[in-house]
Structure 1
Amino acid sequence: MPPCSQGDTAACAPGLCSHLCLLSPVHPRGYKCACPEGLFLLPSGKCAELSIVYAEEKAISLVQVGPGARSRLVQKWLEPLHLQDVDWQRSVLYGTDDGGTLLRVVGHPGRREAISTGLPICSARVDIRSGDLYWLACNRKDIGVSRAPGMAPRILHRARSGIQHLFLDWQRGALYWLARGQPLQQLSLAGGTPQDAWNETWPEELPAAMDSKAFTLLWSSASGLRALSLTKRQAVTLSPSWPHGLVAAFEPYLVSMNGTALLLWDRRTLTLVLAVPAVDVQGVVTFVGTELQAAPVPLPAPTKKESALPLPPLVATSTMTTTTTTTTTTTVRPTTSTTRPTPSKTTTVPIAVHVPTSKATVTPTTTARPTLSKTTSYDDDDNHNHNHYYCSAHHLHHKAYAKQDYHRANRCSRANQLRTSFHLRVPAGQPAPCQSHEYPCGLGTCLNASLVCDGRQDCADGSDEGGNCSVPCRLPCSHLCHPSPQGPRCRCAPGYRLAEDGVSCTDVDECKERGEGACSQTCLNAPGNYSCGCLPGYLLEPDGRICKLTGPEPTLLVAVQSEVLSYGLRSGREKVLLATDKERVIFSLDYDPVERKVFWVDLGTESIRWQGLDSGKKGTLVKGVRSDCIAVDWVGRNLYWTDGVAGQVLATHLGAAWRGVPEYTVVLDGDLDRPHSLVLQPLAG
């Protein structure tokens, strides 16, 4: 940690930051709040999660992206709703029905109200500050506004050609729209005449999204994924090929959909981060709720009501904790990188968290076991019969098991799983769902199928006995057939999954479904099983999954006040490698494995110093620098550091020696806002 006076120590007082408080000598307040990966820092010092609200025909769901991403149902109706926007400041949803009626769903108990516009509406955006609602009529030419509190409609602009996309940047107070053959248009919310926001014309009907956080417009086409900076008015190609489409964007994320899932991508690497099972998505909205002070919108008497579930507040919240960093660490890396870290286990509802691999797969998985509702309705649309089957946790209302009746019962069982997976909020801390060779007890535990209907109550609630246990099995099961209180059921051996026909079993490809959670390096799938392997120079651990280095023991270097300690990551041995004057605290450090030198920042002398671990020699690389972080490029033989005050990243050669004149190069300069941390990938250049 940096040297600090009594006032500096008080800078990180409890409650200032919700997660991490980092003492910073270059920050005007003496500290800086930080958030874990996946969270967003708010002006108050709190960390918030990214919220994704999406509509599936007759339901609205909320996904909160962060450590342990989770999803929950927000609303459901008897009629379809096309989600248009979310006023997260006031807990109001805006949407349209199939006829173009503009609707809003207000707080508790989630009443659905029609907003009069005089025209069918196909797109709407809300101004978070004022509560005004801006909309695009289905004629694709009229842009109007319904101003709070009365929501009286007024036409703002009539376009010459059909508008394909309407965007609202409430933070900067402007409307943007795209029309074929026209430049990007901009109109101030205060009124006036539209202006060209970009000099190039919009080519055709293309998926597009506005990232209000990055003030960027993104779109995908046959030429790839492109991004237009509205600040610089410059467009760049993020990827020459992008077949996934685009529905929303919030830096550093992109959102697309493929018909069966909602996909969240890392915009920086274009790798898949999250996959949420979703069918027939009717609108997606992304936001991070801030502590913006906005006047509430008085709500008129509803003109249309419909029974709905309560609408909980949508503003993300976080637990208040304060963590003070007291040490600085770095790892002494051998020439070959160490094994990958094991992904942490989280509790979620059906969401596929995808760690990028060589073959990206989108596989929805379930890591929390939902509690089955007592009665669930399922519509059987086969042959348009529209028959309703009602399922419970322990009974299916079909007694005969002819092939036709069996498939009806099987559909009912699948419906029960779908309904409970998507329509119930799952309490945290529950175990994973039952596998195909297990039986789900009524209280959520799993039981080996061989113990069902054996005359003994193995489930705590006795749900594994009675009912139709005595019905003989006549199903053409490919693996096993077990009796159950619901009648005979086909089951599969471990490593297999029951197919949709309910009788055959298919192999589970653990390598694809578990991603890097299956093996730390290489994974080979086999029928009913899989095996892990290691790259040259690594040895498979006894757990059969983790690979470890076979060479010298990796060592962790830790700076504690004025000393640098080494910790053996296998043996746990601790050793003091070097010590400076007690008045000079080591702030940031890194290691050069080629010459076995430790480099660190000496804030007392505003210099970057070094010491050889073998020879004990010491030296000064450069003086006159105020840096929060340094990083060694042991391949290119350079040292990089950040200058938060100047907003720069600089570099000098590792072989340089201080001769009274600074010898370094400015690597990055321009759009950097107080850069703090710095990470290099020397092998990747």
Structure 2
Amino acid sequence: MALPDRSMYWVNRGEKGKTLIEAAGMDGSDRQVLAVVSMEEPVGLTLDYVAGRLYWISEYKESIETVKVDGSGRYTFPEMLLKDQDPVGLVVFENWFFWADAERLLSAPRSPARERQVLWNTSVSAFTVLHELQQQPGNTTACAPGLCSHLCLLSPIHPKGYKCACPEGMVLLPPGTCAELTFLYATPKKIFSLQVGLLGSAPKSTLVVDWPQNLHLQDVDWRRGALYWTDDEGDLMRFTWRSPRKEAIRTGLPVCSATVDIASGDVYWLTCDRTDIRVCRFTDMATSVLYRSKSIIAHLFLDWPRATLYWLEDGKPLQQMNLAGGEVQDAWNETWSRDIQITLDTESFSFLWSCKNRGLQSLSLAKRQRGTLKESWPYQLAAAYEPYLVSVNKTALLLWDQRTMEPVGAVTEANIQKVVVGLATPLETVPEPMTEPVTVPLLVTAPLPAARSTAAPAALETTTTTPPPLSCPRTWLPCRDGSECISQEYLCDGERDCKDGSDEEDCAQLCNAPGKFRCLSGTGCLEEQERCDGVPQCPDGSDELDCWKPTQDCARRCDGHTRCVPESWLCDGHPDCLDEADEQGCGKAGTEALGRPGSRR
């Protein structure tokens, strides 16, 4: 059951005989217990959305129970049912209850007389009341067509009033598009893509790169269509598969580990002496030191959805830092050895690792909770993206379901060195091997000594580079500086989403176009049909001002304009608003209302 406030309600018959009536947003958010009904044997939970009340039958008490949707105002209508009656459903309309058993459909008023009436002598398994006042207001849902490619879930806490979701096994990409999950895995000279698809479907493996020299896969920038790898000398390479071409990125020192921030395209990398964490900015490929350690850094991770770096440093707990730099903090109070097999799952915001004597372990950073996924784990952990986990051995790659820890797919391939998450990487064609790799002169790495030295490199000539053109998804727009893409819905909305602020410039012409509503603050505009839709979208909320007009089913607003009641409920002697506004100012008009047909008295 759902209300215009984007909530759903249900009976939860939980553990140890505890029965609860619960509520949550339709996206699963803001879950709360409204009533504990363990002894009542509740049947036929139903919702009167106009009054904002839930009703159910208590078989144990042989009564009808009610509570407001916020958990307050619990009330009992005693002795409503026939003796030893076995009800199967309940509906409430205005001042009447309707319920059924195996033999008949009955009704009774809520008044003290409680004169039961048999409406139909027949077996009824399901029924409802259809009436104009029972219909929820039209054109008020935040889930407009086209916002989400698959599922749109109404949300009471999301600023936009909805949340997009995907079928199990697919991943959600901006702007609300579901895509099949892709992993990339590499052998010494080849890179493959593994398209997973829906959970339970057979994964599909495709050769992406077949290179003459050895390569060490580092990461994939699926938004900009680029692969990053290093060669045997530690030179960092960027391969753009749409061209295809290879570029050598000048870093000055050998690179032993690198990862990409999908939002900005910046590359964060670890020097081969494992003491420096550095960054190459996508806009100009300028390199700077982000963090310098006095001990060995064994593993480097990048959580791009939360713009955070994590790493394991000898003698210290798990460390974290914002991508922009700044203070280093302990992310967890445990210290791991440098030879541990560990991976970051950015979807579940968790770390997974394997221990010889403790099996496969997990650490949820969101819940600050550690657990065991599998007590015995003889495999090499390679990558994870909920609900999937990838392991490798000498001859194959195994795909696992994290919830059941059972394998759901396998690929036969020897000598797999690394696996990375590619999300919606559209890798379909195999470029021909190049005997002479193409190198962009402005990005050529300075000559490195034969041995991997950490000495400072010779002074390099300052040059200006031109990064590859940004490829934006459909319905997204590039920022002026070409560093990122934003959704069209963020254009001229009063908030700077582009780093260069270009999404909030030249808005006057856009906002003055037909079909546009300009926010009163002048900081943005939106589509005219989004005005008075119940979801404030202007920063000042002006798109939801002066919208309400009284109707038969919403005759008076109350409780701070968060609820309304129908005309037939005004001045009927039963306060339905928390502030009792529906019973104020009645007078003579209220007396007339009591005798009006259709009133609840």
TM-score, reference length from structure 2: 0.46
**TM value normalised by structure 1:** 0.40
